[in-house]
Amino acid sequence: MSRIINVGDQLPEFVVPSVDPARMKTMAAILRDPYRVHWDREATREMGLDGRVINQGPLNLSYIVNMLHAFAGPTSIRRLTVSFARPVFDGDLVVAGGEVTEVQDSLLVCGVWLKRGDEIVVSGTAVVDVAALASVSS
């Protein structure tokens, strides 16, 4: 199936209705991450954060990755350059989104973000190869 892609196109959003603290625990084990703020509510109470644990940065980025995969396929990502502006907490509803900013043959440069409400918590740029999707225009 061919698809025409233009600068300014919005990428379909990827929604995480409620960030799950149990997944943070599993992720901490996989990453061998000793930072207590991801799995120990007492650590975030000490920080004045009301005991809500903080999602790992890679998980915040993963929602953007999943959004890109749904749009362009599982081998499409060539580069991710992101900054982390705000922490994401358990129970947050976050939405990953993006917009095409440049088209170079089959490569798209996209502005990408993760939002909590109107607040941008992660933002950056992704380069994705959409060769498998066929038609691309600028």
Partner 1 sequence: MSKSTSPLGYRFPGGRYTIADWENWLLTDCTTAQALPENLAHPVSLFHVPILGAGTSIAELFEICGAEGPGSVGLDGYDWEYMHPLRVGVEYRMEGGIVRWENLVDERDQPYDSMSFSIEMFDGSELVARITNTWRFRRRKVVGA
Strand ranges in 50-106 using DSSP code E only, listed in sequence order: 77-84, 94-104
Q: Applying CB under 8 A, which of residues 6, 7, 13, 81 lies at the interface with partner 1? A: 81
Which one-letter amino acid corresponds to residue 83? S
Minimum CB separation from partner 1 for residue 100, in Å?
Answer: 19
Are 43 and 36 spatial neighbours (Cβ–Cβ below 8 Å)?
A: yes
- Which one-letter DSSP state was computed for residue 4? -
How far is it, in rounded angstroms, from Cα 9 to Cα 109? Answer: 11
Q: Applying CB under 8 A, which of residues 9, 21, 84, 131 lies at the interface with partner 1? A: 84
108 binds partner 1 (CB under 8 A): no
Q: Where along the sequence are the contacts to partner 1 (CB under 8 A)?
A: 16, 20, 23-24, 26-27, 30-37, 43-44, 46-47, 57-59, 61-63, 65-66, 69, 74-75, 77-84, 124
